[in-house]
Structure 1
Amino acid sequence: MKNQLVTVLAILIFMTTACTQSKKSGSENIKNDELNEWFEKGEWKEGWHVQPDESINQEEFALQYSKHPQRWAKAFSFLNNEDLAALSPGRYELEGSDLFVNVDEYVTKNEEDTRFEAHRQYADIQYLVFGEEKIGVVPLENTFEVDPYDKDRDIAFFKAEQNNYRNADSIRFFVFFPDDAHRPCFKASKNSKVRKVVVKVRIN
């Protein structure tokens, strides 16, 4: 993990200094290559075989990982080492309120029964252990708030003019940051039972 942190910090430092260089386009290509290489190598997953969804903001992930590397490592170690299909539904604390896991089983919903949501204090790692659903993912700036932020629940609800739906299943996982409005629980082809694991990683 130490080597991973050094790599991430080097990438972030380069990304910061590159913005001040005159040949900006060339610098951006280099920083993007470095970031993509680190992300795709996937050592930060702690051996977990599941693939990250393409919707994940790699730059934001690298930034947040560099702030709390041990916390993120513990999150992915849990996902890699635990029998996620055998865990009882409920909450599992890994670092108190700074890092915890919610395991839930539910029946996916019709589109009109789902809403976009976003959080301020936590990032979400969302993974379907079994079943499938669709998750809408749009930039928060492209939404408008319909239910104000609830600090106790760390959630606000939104509407968006356009939906970018991604398929969620057992072969990929999602990471949502405060600027990522997401609309989970929408049925794929039909209403069906799913098991979802959500790791809540405090970032603010």
Structure 2
Amino acid sequence: MIFDSAKNLDFYRNLGMDGRYEKAVDFLKNTDLESLAPGKYEIDGKNVFANVTEYTTVPWEEAKYEAHHDYTDIQYMISGSETMTYARIDELAEKVPYNEEKDVVFYDNENPGLKVVVKAGEYMIFNPWDGHKPKAAAGEPAFIKKVIVKIKEN
């Protein structure tokens, strides 16, 4: 898990394999993110793509821990703020088994985890071994817009 701000994106350019992080960083730096409509944006086929989402955050207890087997998430806040929570997957109890088609497994909410308020221009990077719980309100529920860049790891 990594928490950082837009000014440091270039630091992560050379992570991973086949220049995939570089493509993700270029997308985040060179795209007018605020003007993007919700939806999926192809960057490098199934290797790197982005999902733009808009929603109202929910109380922490209603948000769900999740993890992915094949993809790393860069969850970049475009506007608003939300609480994202991190916990190692070996510290979480599986609640909904892995769905290969959607590359997601869900866990119960028993672990309080490490909570981080992520504001516009900030992001968290969650690798496949990182349980994460997005969508939680940072205080009162509020409308947010973010982009989740998915980077294939295997």
Normalised TM-score (structure 1): 0.68
Partner in structure 2 of residue 179 of structure 1: 129
Unpaired runs of at least 5, structure 2: none
Question: 1:50–1:197: structure 2 CA closer, same or farther, 3 Å change rule?
Answer: farther
TM-score (norm 2): 0.89
Q: Which residue of 2 aligns with 1:49?
A: 7
Q: Per the alignment, in what secondary structure is the counterpart of residue 112 of structure 1? A: helix
Residues 182-193 of structure 1 aligned to structure 2 (within 5 Å): 182-193=132-143
C-alpha contact (below 8 Å) 2:82/2:137 kept by paired residues:
yes
Higher strand share: 2
Give the Å deviation of 1:51: 6.4
Instruction: Say if 1:51 and 1:171, in contact at 8 Å, map to a contact too.
Output: no
Q: Among 136, 154, 162, which residue is 2:112 paired with?
A: 162
Rg larger in structure:
1
Structure with the larger helix share? 1
Distance in 1 (alpha carbons) for counterparts of 2:69 and 2:96: 14
Q: Does the Cα contact within 8 Å between 1:123 and 1:176 map onto a contact in 2? A: yes
Taking a change above 3 Å as real, the CA distance of residues 154 and 106 of structure 1, as seen in their structure-2 partners, is: same
Shift of 1:80: 0.3
Q: Deviation at 1:111?
A: 2.0
SS of the residue aligned with 1:75? helix
- Closer/same/farther in 2, CA of residues 66 and 198 from structure 1, 3 Å limit: closer
CA positional deviation for 1:50: 5.2
The equivalent of 2:51 in structure 1 is 102
SS class of match (2:102): coil
Task: Verify the 8 A CA contact 1:128 1:195 in the aligned structure 2.
Answer: yes
d(CA) in 2 for partners of 1:66 and 1:149? 23
Equivalent position of 2:28 in the other structure: 79
CA distance in 1, matches of 2:121, 2:39: 23
Q: Is the 8 A contact 1:148 1:157 kept in 2?
A: yes
What's 1:120 paired with? Answer: 69
2:78 to 99, 108, 129: 129
Q: Tell me, what secondary structure is at the counterpart of 2:46?
A: coil
Structure 1 residue 110, shift from structure 2 partner: 1.4
| Structure 1 unaligned residues grouped into runs of 5+ | 1-44, 53-60
Which one has more relative contact order, counting CA pairs under 8 Å at least 6 apart? 2
The alignment yields a C-alpha RMSD, in angstroms, of 2.4
CA spacing shift, 1:187–1:139, aligned 2, 3 Å: same
Q: 1:66 to 1:165 in 2, by over 3 A?
A: closer
